């Protein structure tokens, strides 16, 4: 995994001073690394009868779509308000300084469907916690929340269902 980690670029002071941003675009644009990352994640879920993969805007679409394809599952998009064309279920959640809102189509997940939630990076867990609440409110059975990378020092997994978090790379 160290070879994949080494491809991810650190960008100091982005989006604000004191933050070291993990830029995954360097991994995504390298075809062999991107394929390897998707294959490693997908391998974990083969045979688990995943029916839907939920991708979280926007980089979660890149991970989630590839996983859905590999697993023969449908892809569901969780988006910012006003981006989905049909009736939506909304979830507003707290951020460090303020709130944010996400939406999912009301008919995207049926009760009892086995759902894998995918995103690029787990940091504080606030966004993913909101997505977990949305999926559970719709009756989806969460198999796991999976991430390409996790910032361990932020303890985001503590906000998610115990035993249902997997990160390929840890920082």
Catalytically annotated residues: 59, 96
Distance, CA of 111 to CA of 94 (rounded, Å): 26
Contact 128, 108 (CB under 8 A): no
Burial 8-44 (b: 16+ CB within 10 A, else e): beeeeeeeeeeeeebebeebbeeeebbebbbeebbee
Distance, CA of 3 to CA of 76 (rounded, Å): 30
CA 113 and chain centroid, separation: 18
Distance, CA of 141 to CA of 52 (rounded, Å): 10
């Amino acid at each position: 995994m160290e070879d994949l980690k080494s491809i991810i670029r650190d960008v100091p002071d982005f989006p604000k001073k004191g933050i070291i941003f993990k830029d995954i675009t360097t991994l995504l644009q390298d075809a062999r690394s991107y394929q390897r990352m998707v294959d490693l994640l997908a391998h974990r879920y083969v045979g688990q009868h995943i029916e839907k993969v939920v991708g979280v805007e926007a980089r979660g679409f890149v991970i989630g779509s590839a996983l859905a394809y590999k697993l023969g599952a449908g892809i569901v998009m969780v988006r910012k308000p006003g981006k989905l064309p049909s009736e939506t279920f909304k979830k507003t959640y707290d951020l460090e300084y303020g709130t944010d809102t996400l939406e999912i189509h009301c008919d995207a997940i049926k009760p009892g469907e086995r759902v894998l939630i995918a995103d690029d990076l787990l940091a504080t867990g606030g966004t993913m916690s909101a997505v977990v609440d949305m999926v559970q409110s719709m009756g989806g059975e969460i198999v796991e929340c999976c991430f390409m990378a996790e910032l361990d020092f932020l303890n985001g997994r503590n906000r998610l269902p115990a035993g249902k978090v997997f990160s390929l790379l840890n920082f």
